[in-house]
Each structure stands twice: as C-alpha cells, then as structure tokens.
Amino acid sequence: DGGITQSPKYLFRKEGQNVTLSCEQNLNHDAMYWYRQDPGQGLRLIYYSQIVNDFQKGDIAEGYSVSREKKESFPLTVTSAQKNPTAFYLCASSPRPRDTLNTGELFFGEGSRLTVL
Amino acid sequence: QKEVEQNSGPLSVPEGAIASLNCTYSDRGSQSFFWYRQYSGKSPELIMSIYSNGDKEDGRFTAQLNKASQYVSLLIRDSQPSDSATYLCAVTGYGGSQGNLIFGKGTKLSVKP
C-alpha cells in the first residue's frame, strides 16, 4: 500500500542528545514537509523540500536539521540546540510543488511523539 | 504575520444535527483553503478543499468560501459520533510560494449520541 511511514512512533530523549526521526514515502511525491504540533496548537512548519538535495527552512527551523538525499526519504534531526523539543512531529508529502492551487493537499504520516526526559 | 483563526471549542452538537465550523484568515491574497480532520492522537487527514467563492459539497460535508469577508466554513450534516475530532483550517497565500500553508489551531467537535 502507498503511504508515508514515520518511525519511531514514540521516542524519549535525554537532555543534550540529538535524535533523528525517519520519514519514508512511496507515493512518488515531489514535496515533503516536517511539522511540529504542540497541545492545543496548530501545525507549525519546520522544513520542507521540493526536490532531492534541496530544502528550505520553515517558520521554526532553529534547532532542527534535515536532508533529502532520496526522493522517498526526508529525515529530521532534532538537535540539542532545540530548547523545547517535546512535541508531536508530523511528516507530510504532496504530489506536486507548491506553486499550484492544490499545493495545500498534504498526506500525513502517523507521526512521531518525542519526549525529553 | 499571516493568521488563521478558529474557535477552539469544544463545539458540542447532538447526533443528526448540523455542525458548523468557522475559520477566518488575515491574508487577503489567500488562494486555496483546506479542511483537515484530526482524531485524538492521530495525524491530520484532508477532507475538503475549496478554491473559489461559494459552496462545495462532498457527501455530508459542505465547504463555504467568502473571500470578501475572508471567511471559510465547514458544515457537517447529519453529524455522527464518528465525526468527533478536531478540525483544522488551512490556507495558502497568493502565488503558492513555498512553505506558505498556514494552519489554524483547530476546533474540537464533539457529537453526542
């Protein structure tokens, strides 16, 4: 079945550690995104990528890093520089670059819940 | 700062009633409008998109757009307990520039049997 797979589903991190969240899609989508969701909050964009080897910062990129070495994969690293990393992280993809009307039609993975101990 | 505003709720309606969810946005140049449904602890799922003024119907769901008033709404007819979720409004700006999809904080809907 086509879809977006995020792993791990739950992750615990100690202070000062970097962690990497995996996101893989087999939908052949060009664009991929990482969002963060805090309780009672909307989704905030961390990074996005339209094509392989290219990505752009979103609204809250500080303390995060990404790579896009393959079309199917867009991992997110939460670094120790991120002051408040406990959150629900959502990876999404869309079938075409965001320069047409339907660029807001996102397909989401199941999410990764990160807790800092 | 471009904003999308939603009443956080909870909005409580009886089973079979019409649920009306509202959203306002600040960027007058916004082009595309979306409604996502998010069950508790789950990821969002796109349920409706609308691009021009007026109504768009899909089954029990109707999206309504009024660009002059910068207002978009979602009506759910014959509400079911399975519709209980948080509904996120999302808006893209003019020109579809990269990374410009803005989400509201969502309205929590509770449908009582």
Of B47, B26, B48, residue with least CA distance to B93: B26
SS3 A76: strand
**A99 — pLDDT class (breaks 50, 70, 90):** low
3-state secondary structure string across chain B: CCCEEECCCCEEEECCCCEEEEEEECCCCCCEEEEEEECCCCCCEEEEEECCCEEEEECCEEEEEECCCCEEEEEECCCCHHHCEEEEEEEECHHHCCCCEEECCCEEEEEEC
Whole-Å CA distances, B86 to A40, A85, B30, B77, B110: 10, 23, 23, 16, 9
* Residue A105 sits at the chain B interface (C-beta within 8 Å): yes
Two structure tokens written together for A43:
């989704």
**Residues in B touching A109 (Cβ below 8 Å):** 43
pLDDT at B94 over 90: no
Residue-level pLDDT at A97 = 55
The residue that leads in pLDDT, B58 or A2, is B58
Look up residue A110 and give its amino acid.
E
Average the pLDDT over B4-12 and give the result.
92
d(CA A44, CA A89): 10
Distance from CA of A63 to the nearest CA of B (A): 18
Strands (E), A14-63: 19-25, 31-37, 43-49, 56-57
pLDDT in tens, A12-26: 988 889 999 999 999
Interface contacts (A, B; CB < 8 Å): 74
Question: Of the candidates A42, A90, A99, which has its C-beta nearest B96's C-beta?
Answer: A99
Chain B interface, best mutation among A64, A68, A106, by max B CB count within 10 A: A106
On chain A, the residues whose CB falls within 8 A of the CB of B92 are: 98, 101, 103-104
Query: What pLDDT shows up at residue A100?
Result: 55
- What's the confidence (pLDDT) of residue A52? 93
Q: Give pLDDT, residue B101.
A: 86
Assess whether pLDDT exceeds 80 at residue A98. no
Residue A67 has pLDDT above 90, yes or no: yes
Q: CB neighbours (10 Å) of residue A15?
A: 8
* Cβ–Cβ gap B105/A48 under 8 Å: no
Is pLDDT of A32 > 80?
A: yes
Please state the rounded mean pLDDT for residues A54-82. 95
Taking all residues of chain A, what is their mean pLDDT, rounded to a whole number?
90
Please tell me the predicted confidence (pLDDT) of residue A15: 85
Q: What span, in angstroms and rounded, lies between the C-alpha atoms of A81 and A64? A: 8
Q: State whether residue A95 sits within 8 Å of chain B by CB.
A: no
Q: Is A101 a residue whose pLDDT tops 60?
A: no
pLDDT at B96 over 60: no
Taking residue B101's Cβ as centre, other Cβ atoms within 10 Å add up to 26
pLDDT at B23: 97
User: For residue B36, is pLDDT > 90?
Assistant: yes
- B45, B101, B106: residue with CB nearest A104: B101
**Residue A103 pLDDT > 60, yes or no?**
yes
pLDDT of residue A41: 82
Q: Do A98 and B91 count as a contact with CB atoms less than 8 A apart?
A: no
Minimum-distance CB partner of B88 among A42, A101, A105: A42
Q: Tell me the mean pLDDT in the region B33-62.
A: 95
Best interface-test mutation with B: which of A35, A51, A66, A103 has the largest number of B CBs within 10 A?
A: A103
* The pLDDT of residue A102: 58
Separation CA A105–CA B36 (nearest Å) = 9
Residue pointed to by tokens 């007819």: B77
Contact between A43 and B44 using a beta-carbon 8 Å cutoff = yes
The alpha carbon of residue A83 is apart from the nearest alpha carbon of chain B, in Å, by 22
pLDDT digit string (tens) for A42-52? 899 999 998 89
* Confidence tier at B31 by pLDDT (50, 70, 90): confident
